[in-house]
């Protein structure tokens, strides 16, 4: 047998070539904007914080937007906002699909840019437009945010990662918004970050093992929100306590998802579980809580 092996053959390719291109494009465009709106997923604020974006935006004012707050546990989201504020970072939690968040974001952006506005005032350029770059991982809601902010569907948005393929400027009142494709980074610090990103749908599902993903998601969520999982799938305490794969089999059977011979169709159940979690059918769930601050 050959000793030669391609060490990369089992590595998940979540960093395709177009993402490297996006990072280069962001490095170019950062010079043309006044600030960055860094969109994070409210269910996993730290796992969705891209260190490459942090590097590129390091010298710009930026506002962290915890998006999809409607899907996250409200108490945990409030704790995250406090966490960012304690680090003196501008942060608001919103749902980009709803109009209500726009005003909060405008106020917070203007707070980040008071220096710039004062400078413009002194130079008699108070009417100049403010250019903002939308940054974030795939599927976090950048294009949706722009559409709500602008009040009309200007940027293409859809329920899968990798929808936006190139940059796009959208004008909304005194703001110019730059939509960007979503981008991940090459090497995650922990497998936890990778699975969190996969759970929420920021890594393309077709490169992942759906059954393993759904099983791990079930295991993770039942540890923190057992009642929500039990309620959604009408599980007894005994069933809820089964090992993860058996739990998935039990749920498949309950839903009548069977293959020939009466066995559980776990492949179908996995798709259903991920879909239902992502559509918040399990309820409002956060997958990450703020780290303890050092005393």
Ligand X SMILES: Nc1nc2c(ncn2[C@@H]2O[C@H](COP(=O)(O)OP(=O)(O)OP(=O)(O)O)[C@@H](O)[C@H]2O)c(=O)[nH]1
Under rule CB under 6 A, which residues in 125-144 are in contact with ligand X?
Answer: 136, 138-144
* Residue whose C-beta lies closest to ligand X: 182
Close Cβ partners of 23 (under 8 Å, ≥ 6 residues apart) = 52, 56, 183
Triad 230, 236, 239: Cα angle to 5°: 90
Instruction: Restricting to residues 183-242, name those near Mg ion by CB under 5 A.
Output: none
- Between the alpha carbon of residue 51 and those of residues 83, 135, 189, 246, the distances in Å are 18, 12, 10, 37
**Residue 181 exposed, middle or buried by CB count within 10 Å (0-12, 13-18, 19+):** buried
Which of 164, 202, 266, 286 lies at the binding interface for Mg ion (CB under 5 A)?
A: 164
Q: Can residue 92 be called a binding residue for ligand X (CB under 6 A)? A: no
Would you say 62 or 142 has its CB closer to ligand X? 142
Which range touches ligand X (CB under 6 A), out of 89-97, 123-131, 232-240, 260-268?
Answer: 89-97
If one asks whether residue 143 binds Mg ion (CB under 5 A), the answer comes out as yes
Assess 181 for contact with ligand X (CB under 6 A): yes
Between 71 and 113, CB nearer to ligand X: 71
76 SS3 class: helix
- Distance, CA of 33 to CA of 272 (rounded, Å): 41
CB 79 within 8 A of CB 291: no
Q: Do the beta carbons of residue 157 and residue 182 sit within 8 Å?
A: no
Identified binder of ligand X from the candidate list 35, 71, 250, 270, rule CB under 6 A = 71
Distance CA 80, CA 78 (A): 5
Q: Which of 29, 54, 70, 219 binds ligand X (CB under 6 A)?
A: 70
Contact pick of 97, 106, 204, 224 for ligand X (by CB under 6 A): 97
Site for ligand X in 40-69 (CB under 6 A): 67-68
Which residues of the shown chain bind ligand X in the complex (CB under 6 A)?
A: 67-68, 70-71, 95-97, 136, 138-144, 157-159, 161-164, 181-182
């Amino acid at each position: 047998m050959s000793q030669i092996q391609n060490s990369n053959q089992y590595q998940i390719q979540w960093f395709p070539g177009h993402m490297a291109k996006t990072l280069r494009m962001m490095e170019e465009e950062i010079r043309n904007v006044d600030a960055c709106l860094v969109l994070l997923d409210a269910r996993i604020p730290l796992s969705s914080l891209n260190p490459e974006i942090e590097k590129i935006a390091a010298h710009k004012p930026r506002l962290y937007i915890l998006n999809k707050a409607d899907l996250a546990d409200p108490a945990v989201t409030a704790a995250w906002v406090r966490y960012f504020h304690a680090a003196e970072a501008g942060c608001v939690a919103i749902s980009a699909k709803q109009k209500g968040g726009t005003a909060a974001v405008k106020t917070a952006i203007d707070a980040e840019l008071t220096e710039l506005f004062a400078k413009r005032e002194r130079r008699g350029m108070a009417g100049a437009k403010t250019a903002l770059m939308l940054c974030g991982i795939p599927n976090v809601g950048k294009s949706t945010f722009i559409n709500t902010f602008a009040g009309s569907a200007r940027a293409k948005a859809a329920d899968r990662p990798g929808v936006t393929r190139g940059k796009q400027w959208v004008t909304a009142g005194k703001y110019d918004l730059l939509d960007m494709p979503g981008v991940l980074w090459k090497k995650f610090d922990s497998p936890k970050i990778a699975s969190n990103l996969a759970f929420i749908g920021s890594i393309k599902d077709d490169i992942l093992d759906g059954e393993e993903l759904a099983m791990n998601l079930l295991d993770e969520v039942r540890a923190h929100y057992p009642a929500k999982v039990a309620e959604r799938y009408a599980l007894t305490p005994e069933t809820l306590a089964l090992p993860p794969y058996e739990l998935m089999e039990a749920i498949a059977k309950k839903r009548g998802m069977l293959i020939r011979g009466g066995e559980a169709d776990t492949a179908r159940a996995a798709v259903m579980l991920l879909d239902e979690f992502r559509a918040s059918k399990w309820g409002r769930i956060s997958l990450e809580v703020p780290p303890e601050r050092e005393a």
